[in-house]
Chain A
């Protein structure tokens, strides 16, 4: 075990993957000599050299397109997109190519690429360094979507992603890259996909949150305890595949659900979670399902503190659910 920040855990995960398998390589902008703009790849260029830590020209479609070609040839590329906000030039490669390659070739051409991207707000990044657009990728068949909220999960989910056989969109909550530290197992630590983490057990209301929304959701649970409300906090960790069993079990126990994400509300992942609960846990529900999300506006720079959910707004939604019945 080593005490690490989340971004350090990502770094250790990358190093572990590269040491254990010479087919693993990483590519992206400013990841080599510079060690990445968030330092996620620090030291890797020195250890593994320019043939495995590839500084690319400034082209996201080039990064993902070449990563796909490498994967088809048999390597295990990990592509870094500097900010999720800049992934759209590669959207065609991700959605039309990467996600569909295995399917459209009848299984002849599996294509395993991991795409890492820092996402989310709270860093004064404005419109183009703050967005949380995981739903685009969840909506596309053929992609897995992982979002860690702790250093141990960051390393464990990343190593599972690298050893998976399918494309993985790995979204890193940059707001808590350094804000949280935690014990991280050394070596080949893996956290399985499709296995939610019960962050906090409770009996009155279930709070679902992932990525950078987990800390304020735990904070909300702390506030609620003082009012005698015992909130359960569940982090799904991967949105695709989704641990529906854990989500349903929690709501069957508490009878109330609040879904939290910083992405805009319309067609956000919270809508999917709410629909699953309405279809499969309807008769367990004692109150309407609550959502605490970003607004359906572009991500504002000066007012990001009013755009992003926080412990108070999450606690408020949970309180409303409890008071409804």
Chain B
């Protein structure tokens, strides 16, 4: 016993592991999440062309930024996403089937078929309902952080947004409130270089997006968003600052939207093949795969298996979701209010009556 005690670690000696370094045993899981996201993107772009889903907004190119962030935060933290944060939801535990159900708007969809594809809401994952207007989630993330401060909960909120949103009203308001109230908020800007057709250079004259944080009185950092470890480190450091009471951080993760803005967009109209090719060489999946292969964490056959597993999972989830019944017609009237108003009840009664054609309130 005495000899065991004599070799106990000296508490004065700092631990050899860096708390902000993505743990080695998380690298392969991170890669799996990134591959799964890519497999969903690939399949769903095809599903939309086949008319099996109405719309899709791919995140390809942004996987490392999203998975790196999702691994660095805790289950109790709150995510305020835009509409391109699918990999965050998956990494936090949203099931693949629930994702497909939302994309199809079927009767198992947690959002009850009320929104376009990609506008997810996963209460169990503290993944707040996404909307289409740009930037509105930013002030909301700050408000939730103010609420956590009031309740003395040691959590952070993360506002996800893109380069375009840095021009929005709510970016300014949210950053300003966060600075004034020193809220535990992480502003994770995925600068994917394009806001539909507007390039980053025309969005702002600022040299970086992160430097905008200076004016609000808190740190802004730029990270290579194609490097899952760099993003993990930045988010983990920001998280520690926030829960320690040192306030918000803005992180600009520099990435590239490898795909179109959405299935309704043709990026060939506004950007060159050369530019896309340049960034394809910096594909975050290629990068992490190279590191894993070099480290011997996976071999070529193992990598192939990861891809095959991901594609098989996606195919199975699609098949499962396509078997689910569509939303019931009168579900249109639910959740407008906690309890329907008499006017809404009357509209629903009229809708439910079978003796007239449907389409618009009579």
Please list the residues of chain A having a beta carbon within 8 angstroms of any beta carbon in chain B: 25, 51-52, 54, 56-57, 59, 61-62, 64-75, 77, 89, 92-93, 96-97, 100-110, 141-142, 144, 164-166, 194, 240-242, 244-245
Bound-state CA distance A69–B183 (Å) is 12
Q: Which of A68, A102, A144, A240 contacts B143 (CB 8 A)?
A: A68
B144 with A73: CB separation less than 8 A: yes
Do A108 and B142 contact each other (CB < 8 Å), given the known contacts A62-B177, A65-B136, A102-B338? no
Bound-state CA distance A71–B80 (Å) is 14
Do A69 and B144 contact each other (CB < 8 Å), given the known contacts A102-B335, A104-B121, A166-B337? yes
Do A106 and B112 contact each other (CB < 8 Å), given the known contacts A61-B169, A73-B78, A240-B341? yes
Query: With a CB–CB cut-off of 8 A, which chain A residues contact B176?
Result: 57, 59, 62
Of A108, A109, A241, most buried by chain B (CB within 10 Å of CB) is A108
B259-318 interface with A by 8 A CB criterion: none
Task: Tell me whether B222 is interfacial, beta carbon within 8 Å.
Answer: no
- Give 19 A-B contacts (CB < 8 Å), ordered by A residue: A57-B180, A59-B177, A61-B139, A61-B170, A65-B138, A65-B142, A66-B146, A69-B139, A69-B142, A71-B143, A72-B140, A72-B143, A73-B147, A103-B336, A105-B111, A106-B112, A106-B121, A142-B337, A242-B343
B53-102 interface with A by 8 A CB criterion: 78, 80
Bound-state CA distance A106–B327 (Å) is 12
- 7 closest A-B pairs by beta carbon, nearest first, are A69-B143, A65-B139, A66-B143, A62-B173, A73-B147, A106-B112, A241-B341
Do A244 and B343 contact each other (CB < 8 Å), given the known contacts A102-B338, A108-B129? yes
Please list the residues of chain B having a beta carbon within 8 angstroms of any beta carbon in chain A: 78, 80, 109-112, 114-115, 119, 121-123, 128-129, 131, 133, 136, 138-151, 157, 169-170, 172-174, 176-177, 180, 334-339, 341-343
Query: With a CB–CB cut-off of 8 A, which chain B residues contact A25?
Result: 150
Give min CB distance, A80 to chain B, whole Å.
Answer: 15
Bound-state CA distance A273–B110 (Å) is 36
Do A104 and B147 contact each other (CB < 8 Å), given the known contacts A65-B173, A69-B141, A194-B341? no
Given contacts A73-B144, A108-B129, 6 further A-B contacts (CB under 8 A): A54-B146, A66-B139, A69-B157, A92-B136, A108-B121, A241-B342
Residue of A nearest to B153 (CB): A73
B131 with A100: CB separation less than 8 A: yes
A104 with B111: CB separation less than 8 A: yes
Bound-state CA distance A101–B338 (Å) is 12
Do A56 and B177 contact each other (CB < 8 Å), given the known contacts A61-B169, A106-B111? yes
B335 with A70: CB separation less than 8 A: no
Bound-state CA distance A110–B123 (Å) is 11
Bound-state CA distance A72–B123 (Å) is 10
A107 with B112: CB separation less than 8 A: yes
Query: With a CB–CB cut-off of 8 A, which chain B residues contact A109?
Result: 121, 123, 128-129
A104 with B148: CB separation less than 8 A: no
B174 with A62: CB separation less than 8 A: yes
Give min CB distance, B298 to chain A, whole Å.
Answer: 37
Do A104 and B143 contact each other (CB < 8 Å), given the known contacts A57-B176, A62-B174? no
Query: With a CB–CB cut-off of 8 A, which chain A residues contact B334?
Result: 103, 107
Bound-state CA distance A46–B78 (Å) is 32
A244 with B342: CB separation less than 8 A: yes
Give min CB distance, A278 to chain B, whole Å.
Answer: 15
Bound-state CA distance A109–B131 (Å) is 13
Tell me the number of A-to-B contacts counted with CB atoms below 8 Å: 163
Do A105 and B146 contact each other (CB < 8 Å), given the known contacts A194-B341, A194-B342? no
B338 with A104: CB separation less than 8 A: no
Do A104 and B129 contact each other (CB < 8 Å), given the known contacts A61-B173, A65-B143, A69-B142? yes
Query: With a CB–CB cut-off of 8 A, which chain A residues contact B147?
Result: 69-70, 73-75
Bound-state CA distance A194–B335 (Å) is 18
Bound-state CA distance A77–B147 (Å) is 10
Bound-state CA distance A217–B143 (Å) is 42
Residue of B nearest to A240 (CB): B341
Query: With a CB–CB cut-off of 8 A, which chain B residues contact A194?
Result: 341-342
Residue of B nearest to A167 (CB): B337
Query: With a CB–CB cut-off of 8 A, which chain A residues contact B180?
Result: 57
Give min CB distance, B150 to chain A, whole Å.
Answer: 6
B170 with A65: CB separation less than 8 A: yes
Query: With a CB–CB cut-off of 8 A, which chain B residues contact A245?
Result: 342
B110 with A108: CB separation less than 8 A: yes
Residue of A nearest to B120 (CB): A105
Bound-state CA distance A164–B114 (Å) is 23
B146 with A107: CB separation less than 8 A: no
Bound-state CA distance A242–B129 (Å) is 29
B150 with A89: CB separation less than 8 A: no
Query: With a CB–CB cut-off of 8 A, which chain B residues contact A93?
Result: 136, 139, 170
A70 with B343: CB separation less than 8 A: no
A166 with B338: CB separation less than 8 A: yes
Give min CB distance, A166 to chain B, whole Å.
Answer: 5
Query: With a CB–CB cut-off of 8 A, which chain B residues contact A164?
Result: 338
Of A73, A103, A144, most buried by chain B (CB within 10 Å of CB) is A73
Query: With a CB–CB cut-off of 8 A, which chain A residues contact B80?
Result: 69
A104 with B114: CB separation less than 8 A: yes
Bound-state CA distance A52–B128 (Å) is 24
B123 with A108: CB separation less than 8 A: yes
Bound-state CA distance A144–B340 (Å) is 11
Do A96 and B174 contact each other (CB < 8 Å), given the known contacts A103-B335, A141-B336? no
Bound-state CA distance A62–B181 (Å) is 12
Residue of A nearest to B119 (CB): A104
Query: With a CB–CB cut-off of 8 A, which chain B residues contact A96?
Result: 131, 133, 136
Bound-state CA distance A97–B130 (Å) is 9
A66 with B140: CB separation less than 8 A: yes
Residue of A nearest to B114 (CB): A104
A104 with B115: CB separation less than 8 A: yes
Bound-state CA distance A32–B342 (Å) is 38
Residue of A nearest to B183 (CB): A66
Of A71, A105, A108, A144, most buried by chain B (CB within 10 Å of CB) is A105
Of A69, A70, A92, A141, most buried by chain B (CB within 10 Å of CB) is A69
